[in-house]
Chains A and B, each alone.
Chain A
Amino acid sequence: MTRAAEPSLPDRARPRRSGIPLHAALFHLTAAVVAALFLAPIVLVVLASLRPASEAGAPPLPPWPTTGLSTESYGRLEAFGDGLLHYAGNSLFVALGTTILTILVSVLAGYGFSRFRFPMKKLAFVLILSTIMIPFQSILTPLFLILAKLGLQNTLTGLILLYATLQLPFSVFMMRNAFDAVPKEIEEAARVDGVTGLRMLVFVMGPLILPGIVSVGLFAFLNAWNEFLAALVLLTDQSRYTLPVLMNAVRSGRYGAVDWGAVQAGVTVMMIPCLLLFLTLQRFYIRGLTAGAVK
């Protein structure tokens, strides 16, 4: 199984069977049409978001702006509640906070599980991993109460703690494997040179496990940026909303009639960071996905 895990979507060179030109043409035709279908909604909404207010409510036929590009839809979104930038800031804070916390906690735990022996180690590992089988949707009510007890309900910090916890089974597993793959000799050589404790972890092991860290961080960021249900339940104060919750309010017309132009603009703002991150870090994304899946 592991042999199959391609680290990136583009293929490694494999012996190639020379195809008949007709066959190849048919392949490219099919694949291109299907690719266009998959990309169309994304391209459509980005184009539609750039239409002026007079066109924003009309069907996207044609999808591109016919009377010149305009950022009016984004401008109107800036007028909702505390403004687009404020909510994008909330989302970014939650996503970055989750990323940092997830990386910190899972690197430490991965190191601990890979390099140390301690009582109940197996139990602790199984406990962390088994949470992946329990859907967090089913424990949302008590989470709500616990965060309230800690004074963290309706705060972005509470959301970060929850999101980081949800990332842990995957992340700890990834980091444990990353540390396992580092030869013990490297550590021993460093120890002979007098490197110990956290300095060992940061300066000796750190660079070697960087690919794993990137995968873990990437998934943490994307999942936190996109999460909807927990944010909907836990954030009651409108100024704390993350983008998905805000856009749901905009779409359900809580700010008056549904402004589809603003919805298009909001969707674009939510999508673009994900697409850019994926396109630049594709290898790490696919590696994380197959590593998590092959387990």
Chain B
Amino acid sequence: MSGITLPSTAASAVAPAVPAPVRKSRRRRLDWTGLVYVAPALVLVVGFFLVPLCMTAWMSLHNWPLMGNPRWIGTANYKALWSDYNFWNALLFTLRYTVAATAGLMLVGLALALLVEKPRRMAGFYRTAFFMPVVIGFASASLLWAWLSNVDSGLFSALAQALGLTEGRVNLLATFEPAFWSVTIMVIWKMAGFYMVILMSGLQAIPPDYLEAARIDGAGFLRRFRHITLPLIRRPFALALILCVSGSMLAFDHFYIILAGGPQNRTITAVYWIFNQSFVSFRLGYGAALSMVLLAILVVLSVIQLRLLRDREDAR
């Protein structure tokens, strides 16, 4: 960072090919123009990101009601949070969901990518079909799924009954396990196409010669996949993994819309709990403290995953 604020004499010493006076005057003129072009973006990012981020940290040290004056309470929010059974439960549930959704999405995404990776007739059509659910929003997809999973008007219960799989209508959303899996399957349906595209970009970068040579040497599909394909798509795979884990850790829309936290309040995710504390109970300071913890967890997760990615790259 120090290089940026170097005085111009030092800068010209670094780049002696440019005559110092010319560079100096030219730079001074250009300084302003560049900053003017960038200013609107900076104003937005500082005003709606940097300042709120600092405020979150500041607020987390206060008892901050919606109305009335905030009161400094030091680390009391964090102490309360430590024994907030509901928050840790929500976090645990979020982790469980993240594991399920990530495993499902990576598997289905990879399977889809392998299926349509090669340029065959109709392959473009199939890819587009798999990708369609990605572009509709999470809210639309959740509302759609809320309808499909509904016991009286939806598809799943009625279909299972019509096919003779269940006796009578089973309410999928009334008990934890089927409700959880219904939402997880919705997410896999909606997002698999996204991970397919990321993984496909990796698959298509593998030189066909590699696989061809292995085939001629008599390696079967599984061996080729294990020893050539998988190692070569490491990077897009790691990227997909990071996006998937951090996205799942922030899940809110579908659990709020489809299940409203039910059955028995067992599907409340971390963001959902923060939302409840901040905007239903209006304990803004406490919500901010919860946000800080979630933020820290996400940063740690990202760093771990990035580290894993880098290590594997070094081992190459």
Within 8 A of A (CB), among B27-41: 27, 30-38, 40-41
Contact assessment for A271 and B41 in the assembled complex, using a CB-CB cutoff below 8 Å: no
Main secondary structure of the interface of A (DSSP, over half): helix
Pick the residue among B37, B147, B197 that contacts A260 (CB under 8 A): B147
Contact assessment for B37 and A146 in the assembled complex, using a CB-CB cutoff below 8 Å: no
Closest partner residue, chain B, to A35 (CB atom): B129
Binary contact track A164-202/B, C-beta < 8 Å → 1, others 0: 110010001000000000000000000000000000000
Contact assessment for B116 and A222 in the assembled complex, using a CB-CB cutoff below 8 Å: no
Most B CB within 10 A of own CB, among A38, A226, A266: A38
Given A38-B130, A165-B44: A146 in contact with B52 (beta carbons within 8 A)? yes
- Asked if B198 is an interface residue, CB under 8 A from chain A, the answer is yes
Within 8 A of B (CB), among A34-91: 34-35, 37-39, 41-42, 44-45, 48, 56-61, 63
**How far is B4's CA from A270's CA once the two chains are assembled, in angstroms?**
47
- Asked if A14 is an interface residue, CB under 8 A from chain B, the answer is yes
Contact assessment for B153 and A267 in the assembled complex, using a CB-CB cutoff below 8 Å: no
Which of B76-84, B96-104, B155-163 makes up part of the contact surface? Answer: B155-163
Contact assessment for A270 and B140 in the assembled complex, using a CB-CB cutoff below 8 Å: yes
Within 8 A of B (CB), among A127-148: 127-128, 131, 133-146
Contact assessment for A135 and B130 in the assembled complex, using a CB-CB cutoff below 8 Å: no
Contact assessment for A168 and B139 in the assembled complex, using a CB-CB cutoff below 8 Å: no
Contact assessment for B135 and A263 in the assembled complex, using a CB-CB cutoff below 8 Å: no
Contact assessment for A286 and B197 in the assembled complex, using a CB-CB cutoff below 8 Å: yes
Contact assessment for A104 and B45 in the assembled complex, using a CB-CB cutoff below 8 Å: no
A-B interface contact total, Cβ < 8 Å: 312
- Asked if B95 is an interface residue, CB under 8 A from chain A, the answer is no
- Chain A residues near B241: list those with CB within 8 A: none
- Chain A residues near B302: list those with CB within 8 A: 133
- Chain B residues near A275: list those with CB within 8 A: 132, 135-136
- Chain A residues near B124: list those with CB within 8 A: 9-11
Contact assessment for B295 and A134 in the assembled complex, using a CB-CB cutoff below 8 Å: yes
Given A9-B128, A35-B130, A290-B197: A124 in contact with B49 (beta carbons within 8 A)? no
- Asked if B246 is an interface residue, CB under 8 A from chain A, the answer is yes
- Asked if B294 is an interface residue, CB under 8 A from chain A, the answer is yes
Contact assessment for B253 and A228 in the assembled complex, using a CB-CB cutoff below 8 Å: yes
Distance of B147 from chain A, by nearest CB (Å):
6
Contact assessment for A34 and B115 in the assembled complex, using a CB-CB cutoff below 8 Å: yes
Pick the residue among A41, A142, A144 that contacts B189 (CB under 8 A): A41
Distance of B42 from chain A, by nearest CB (Å):
6
Chain B's interface size range is: 35 or more
**How far is B36's CA from A105's CA once the two chains are assembled, in angstroms?**
11
Given A108-B40, A146-B51, A228-B253: A271 in contact with B136 (beta carbons within 8 A)? yes
- Chain A residues near B115: list those with CB within 8 A: 27, 30-31, 34
- Asked if B180 is an interface residue, CB under 8 A from chain A, the answer is no
- Chain A residues near B10: list those with CB within 8 A: none
Pick the residue among A63, A118, A222 that contacts B30 (CB under 8 A): A118
Pick the residue among A121, A140, A252, A274 that contacts B4 (CB under 8 A): A121
Contact assessment for B30 and A116 in the assembled complex, using a CB-CB cutoff below 8 Å: yes
Contact assessment for A6 and B204 in the assembled complex, using a CB-CB cutoff below 8 Å: yes
Contact assessment for B50 and A127 in the assembled complex, using a CB-CB cutoff below 8 Å: yes
Given contacts A4-B204, A226-B138, A279-B128, 20 further A-B pairs with CB under 8 A are: A44-B155, A45-B144, A57-B153, A116-B37, A120-B5, A121-B38, A137-B274, A142-B52, A142-B53, A146-B48, A164-B44, A226-B140, A260-B147, A270-B139, A275-B135, A278-B131, A289-B194, A289-B198, A293-B243, A294-B201
A-B contact pairs, 30 of them (CB 8 A): A4-B202, A9-B131, A11-B124, A30-B115, A37-B189, A38-B133, A42-B133, A59-B155, A61-B162, A108-B38, A116-B35, A117-B27, A118-B30, A118-B35, A118-B38, A135-B295, A139-B52, A141-B56, A146-B47, A146-B48, A165-B44, A168-B41, A228-B139, A233-B275, A233-B279, A266-B143, A271-B140, A274-B137, A278-B131, A278-B135
